Amino acid sequence: MGIKRSLRMLLCAALLSATTAGAAEIHGRSSTQFVWFNNIFNDRNQSEIAEYLHLNITKIDDAGKFSIYGYGRGSQDLNNGEGLNGRLYYLYGDYRGLFDKMDIKVGRQFTNIAAGNAIIDGGQIDLRNIGPVAFTVLGGRNVIFGLDGELSHEGDYVFGVAGNLTGFKHTDLELGYFAKWGAGSDGPVRETLGGTFKQYLFNNLKLYANTRYDLDSEVFSEVLAGVKYFPMAKLVLTGEWYQSYPVFDADSIYAVFAVNRYQEGVFRADYTINDMISVNAGYNRQDYGDDSTADVYQIGGRIRPIEPLLVNLSYDKRHGYKGSLAGGIIDVFYQVTKELERAAGFQYDVYTREDIVTTGDEIARKYWGGAKYQLAKNMSASIRIQDDVNRRFNDDWQGRFVFNYDF
């Protein structure tokens, strides 16, 4: 969908609501941004001006059950001839509490259930207050974005259904089915079963798990299992195991290629010493298959030596498959006045790569600085400038200036 049509739909929604319901409330954010960067596709400097519009229209009806939500972006390239571009991320009507049992959303929207997610032009119905299980049904045209616009074709559709356990204070459970059709396909090109689970125990223990099972490949494409333990208010211990197996649509050429299963185990500890200092440390074991593994160690902290100053620190060390890396990051934020905040950061990495012939260790550095100023209660401006220095670039400058207006 082109930028003109996208913005026209957003503006029409606002005007229509304002004329049909005098009591309707219109809120949102206009974010005007100027960005400059090096375009990696043609290795040329590029600058763009973009407008992001987030729109909420509520209290359209007397009962306050119907609302309209929209979010879109328009951008204009200023020096490389790429012209005007835009995306409509969502624009939908939301009616809640129909017969005190149904919530209905119609239009372009982001849908997310345990078995899958997509941006669709369609609808979603949530059925609740009918017992211990609530149901979600969704379907519509699958919206696929590319660099220059939408890539969706006739026949790109998705459908999903999910059941959610309700009424249990310490337990969350969802099971679902998600299917996707492609242009010209006789049946679904991907079908997935999924589930999510959370359980709270003894006021200091949380168990959770997510999984997706691909019916065509007959494999678990994703599995996550974890536990969080809170032995005291200031200490959080986390242990996770994650598995990912790449799957592709049945009509994709990549479906015939052999792939490896990826697994990782994570242990992490977060401790808040006091209002001024908090620290964290973690270990990550990565398994890429075929006896290819890597170990990652991480340590970090947050320090506030005085009220206006905040310093974030982190250090990572990785060794194993495809090379090694050791590096650190420091980010500093200083609240000069109630309205003005300044910030700066530095990242330094030393790395080696097994698949590239080099003369030794390589070094990558990143420098950035910025500031944010609150012009009024509903207006702010910010700027961030960054330079990357690495094997590919002696200097790679990029930046962003943002003006936000809330209404």
Residue 141, pLDDT > 80, answer yes
In a domain, 220, yes or no: yes
Beta bridge partners of 142: 120
Residue 317, pLDDT > 50, answer yes
Give the domain CATH number at 142: 2.40.160
Work out the pLDDT band at 1, boundaries 50, 70, 90: very low
Residue 385 has what pLDDT? 98
Q: Annotate 93-161 with DSSP letters as a single string.
A: EEEEEETTTEEEEEEEEEEEETTEEEEEEEEEEEE-SSSSEEEEEEEEEEP-EETTEE---TT-EEEEE
Instruction: Give the residue-averaged pLDDT of 106-111.
Output: 97
In a domain, 268, yes or no: no
Q: Which of 162, 157, 117 is nearest to 136 (CA)?
A: 162
Eight-class DSSP state of 254:
G
8 A C-beta contact, residue 390 and residue 38 = no
Report pLDDT digits (tens) over 178-228. 999 998 888 899 999 999 999 999 989 999 999 999 999 999 999 999 999
Class of residue 345 by CB neighbours under 10 A (exposed 0-12, middle 13-18, buried 19+):
middle
Residue 305, pLDDT > 60, answer yes
In a domain, 77, yes or no: no
- Would you say the pTM of this structure is higher than 0.75? yes
In a domain, 44, yes or no: no
In a domain, 223, yes or no: yes
Return d(Cα 15, Cα 291) in angstroms, integer. Answer: 61
Q: What angle do CA 339, 341, 346 make, to 5 degrees?
A: 170
Return d(Cα 326, Cα 319) in angstroms, integer. Answer: 9
Question: Coil, helix or strand for 36?
Answer: strand
In a domain, 136, yes or no: yes
Residue 357 has what pLDDT? 62
104 CB-side CA count, 13 A: 9
24-to-56, 69, 145, 209, 406 alpha-carbon distances in Å: 10, 13, 32, 41, 17
Domain that holds residue 213: 99-233
First to last CA, the chain: 26
In a domain, 259, yes or no: no
Instruction: Give the residue-averaged pLDDT of 41-69.
Output: 91
Question: Coil, helix or strand for 7?
Answer: helix
Exposed e or buried b per residue across 145-156, where buried means at least 16 C-beta atoms within 10 angstroms of its C-beta: eeeeeeebeeeb
Return d(Cα 338, Cα 380) in angstroms, integer. Answer: 12
| Residue 108: CB atoms within 10 Å | 23
Class of residue 47 by CB neighbours under 10 A (exposed 0-12, middle 13-18, buried 19+):
middle
In a domain, 172, yes or no: yes
Residue 14 has what pLDDT? 47
Return d(Cα 160, Cα 247) in angstroms, integer. Answer: 18
Work out the pLDDT band at 314, boundaries 50, 70, 90: very high
Q: How many domains does the chain have?
A: 1
Return d(Cα 311, Cα 330) in angstroms, integer. Answer: 7
Report pLDDT digits (tens) over 343-397. 999 999 999 988 766 667 899 999 999 999 999 999 999 999 999 999 888 889 9
Q: Which of 281, 366, 282, 364 is nearest to 323 (CA)?
A: 364
Return d(Cα 330, Cα 303) in angstroms, integer. Answer: 11
Q: Which of 188, 239, 192 is nearest to 211 (CA)?
A: 192
